[in-house]
Structure 1
């Protein structure tokens, strides 16, 4: 299944072309009904424009707008979610269908004032309602430092500084400690520029992936270690980055894929605290629940598990999820390994199954063997995939299968932890809900929000056995 590419952040915020994603040396124009991509954009464009002609839609949108700026994050969250939901509901009625991913992005990533959540569309609608001349309309003002956060007036920027310049406590990512929203926004822009200039030359998809090809002499605990400490110097030599340049963007880019094997290793270490027997097994088996395109395209990264566990002879990964290609009959694939692992007779075997995990176990019957770890990356169990997970949770708890779940942000992690506890799981404190030290360092501002960030495996929702 090929996923629809999400445009880079600057394009989503109207700072770069939405078609080619170029930001520098281009003249940007707002939609005028004559876009190159007009055929695809036309339905959503008309739906969004029609809102300004519907009195009921306008009344609904204006009703939730505050008269004064606020820095209460709960209030801001409720306002942005209500606005996005109302906009999409009006658009769905106009389109007579649900919005596509690209169409949703136009709403979810629309710039808005940090302390009153007004968008440029709402500002125009308010001006028209009050009879203000279009020449006097004040559009959203970007922060001059990061150019990613916005306010609708200088007065609102004065209020917003309390949020924008203070440390983001909930932000995921190893490079986020103590950073403000403004500083993190600038880091995000750096990573976007890196991906646009470097990553596109590495892979056809424009996604940067890297993994070390060395095999460590022995297993070493991950406790207290960092992405840069473990990979920075080795990566610098591998890709030839001069010592005058920071490895930050490179390491953060690579961590977006390496977070999967490193989180698996961290989970196994914490599950087996005080017992390193798992590092010396002949075969290590890991079942990845809810697996999809991400695990398939990043399959090469899983060899890092073998490279950090030199005594393991075979790594068996079962990739199980309703979005996996193929049928419900599992397919076994022997993957290529690096020359060093091949020479030592070490193997990496992947088994693919298109099914929910509880159905997969049921179909296996007496042939099912408990793995060393079951893990679900960003399961969405508390949001998008509420219906499919309860039966799997019940099975994992009843069979006492060592299991670990990750999430994009604190809110999802805490909600998922509550669901796991209600299913009878006794969560291990080192495994959530808390920040994942091996979550991706490539953070992304939250959509449909004026504050906050998320990252792939940014949080550990809960681990149990």
Structure 2
């Protein structure tokens, strides 16, 4: 039964906190999958209220109404009122995304009683990714108000055109969206089987000193995969090896970016026996991939001990740990070969801002590397991040930062330049970014993509 599937119970699984669960799939918002069970059906039932949610059956519609859609539907109807009042015959991509941003702002300014945080996330996701005509830039609802059907591409299911406009997306764009859709279906299948959205692929065995190669000597992920044996967790014979490898880079980008940054910032990194990492702005995402940091022990042959501090207001540490206090060091699992060689991994948590940890904790020690993965500090919680940024520059800590887009990277660098930071590496595309493309819905060019850790840069202290 669909209602017993993991996908149909994804919110319940997420609330239990044992595993992450997928958000509402893009292919559901694009009206190819059911909003509740996430299965494809040729004829989906549309919600008569908001007209933005679709279901494979009455059963799924009733379940979704009970679980989430009752509150969401009301807000989506309000969004429809906005859309029906701003129908224009002179739109382009920039105007369309401006309209989307205004609607997102409307949603975010609603009283907290209207939507929970998770419901707000679902609504903004539905509004930003909703079907629209890629020629005249009217949404499906706006076109329906005029009695004009919207026709989705039968190959990629992402791009649509209305009955009045020709289809104008290229074959390359169609292939790009088809890959996004195939990878999304693959992730949904993986969650249904294993109950997790994480794909874990680790460096197979520790390398010896005479086998050591810096990551800068590899051309790309494919070059690395062809050279270094990898070990996949939770994969079966029916898995698509290519899709698994691509999906696994969503996690492996964490360990690989860290190793590449250590090699760029510390010339003698191969000789170090102990490394301390501070991961700033850490959330459950970083916590869920901590197993992958054993890759450092496998790629750096003399390394004996990695200590990681996950720091941030939303750091996913022990529930009993008080805010703004460093927790006890926790010893983490190592593979039998590393354990046999006396290698160790340990970690600790600090639930608060990094500048508070640095200035108030008696246990604070300057790390070999501070890491900010996709912090968004130029766009979100700007005032909260500012003291941390100043501290990192003033203290001379090696710091690597990643962003989803080039624009974010340049905004962050502008702030650092005002602080006279010295750059070890200027912003550039990160060779070790995740390989899963995510469609850019509101920024950048139409049909463009962002990636995990897409751009990166490294700074240390101030200019002389």
- With the length of structure 1 as denominator, give the TM-score of the two structures: 0.81
**Aligned match of 1:257:** 251
Measured against aligned partners, the alpha-carbon deviations of 1:358-412 in whole angstroms (never above 9, x if no partner) come to 00001135x5322111011010101223122110110011111110111112222
Q: How many angstroms apart in 1 are the aligned matches of 2:306 and 2:135?
A: 50
Does the 8 Å CA contact 2:100/2:127 hold for their aligned counterparts?
Answer: no
**Aligned match of 2:271:** 280
Which of 279, 292, 296 aligns to 2:287? It is 296
Q: How many angstroms apart in 2 are the aligned matches of 1:31 and 1:139?
A: 17
1:412 partnered with 2:408: yes
**Aligned match of 2:176:** 184
SS at match of 1:361: helix
| Larger strand fraction of residues | 2
**Aligned match of 2:47:** 31
Q: How many angstroms apart in 2 are the aligned matches of 1:5 and 1:191?
A: 13
Which of 336, 339, 343 aligns to 2:336? It is 339
**Aligned match of 2:77:** 49
Q: How many angstroms apart in 1 are the aligned matches of 2:245 and 2:415?
A: 33
Q: How many angstroms apart in 2 are the aligned matches of 1:29 and 1:232?
A: 46
Question: Could you tell me how far 1:289 is from its partner in structure 2?
Answer: 0.6
Q: How many angstroms apart in 2 are the aligned matches of 1:435 and 1:381?
A: 19
Q: How many angstroms apart in 2 are the aligned matches of 1:294 and 1:93?
A: 25
**Aligned match of 1:221:** 214
1:149 partnered with 2:159: yes
1:105 partnered with 2:125: yes
Does the 8 Å CA contact 2:273/2:303 hold for their aligned counterparts?
Answer: yes
- With the length of structure 2 as denominator, give the TM-score of the two structures: 0.81
**Aligned match of 1:6:** 23
Does the 8 Å CA contact 1:420/1:462 hold for their aligned counterparts?
Answer: no
**Aligned match of 1:168:** none
Question: Could you tell me how far 1:196 is from its partner in structure 2?
Answer: 2.6
Does the 8 Å CA contact 1:47/1:94 hold for their aligned counterparts?
Answer: no
Question: Could you tell me how far 1:314 is from its partner in structure 2?
Answer: 0.5
Q: How many angstroms apart in 2 are the aligned matches of 1:61 and 1:280?
A: 63
Which of 251, 263, 269 aligns to 1:269? It is 263
Q: How many angstroms apart in 2 are the aligned matches of 1:204 and 1:358?
A: 37
Does the 8 Å CA contact 1:76/1:116 hold for their aligned counterparts?
Answer: no
Q: How many angstroms apart in 1 are the aligned matches of 2:304 and 2:231?
A: 29
Question: Could you tell me how far 1:308 is from its partner in structure 2?
Answer: 0.3
Q: How many angstroms apart in 2 are the aligned matches of 1:286 and 1:237?
A: 25
**Aligned match of 1:124:** 144
Question: Could you tell me how far 1:96 is from its partner in structure 2?
Answer: 7.9
1:387 partnered with 2:380: no
Measured against aligned partners, the alpha-carbon deviations of 1:205-235 in whole angstroms (never above 9, x if no partner) come to 2432221331112331112432222235734
What number of residue pairs does the alignment pair up?
419
1:207 partnered with 2:198: yes
* Aligned-CA RMSD value: 3.0
Q: How many angstroms apart in 1 are the aligned matches of 2:135 and 2:243?
A: 30
Question: Could you tell me how far 1:448 is from its partner in structure 2?
Answer: 4.1
Distance 1:142 1:92, change over 3 A: farther
Does the 8 Å CA contact 1:200/1:206 hold for their aligned counterparts?
Answer: no
Q: How many angstroms apart in 2 are the aligned matches of 1:245 and 1:89?
A: 39
Q: Which runs of 5+ in 2 are unaligned?
A: 1-14, 50-57
Question: Could you tell me how far 1:141 is from its partner in structure 2?
Answer: 2.2
Q: Which runs of 5+ in 1 are unaligned?
A: 128-136, 166-179
Distance 1:22 1:38, change over 3 A: same
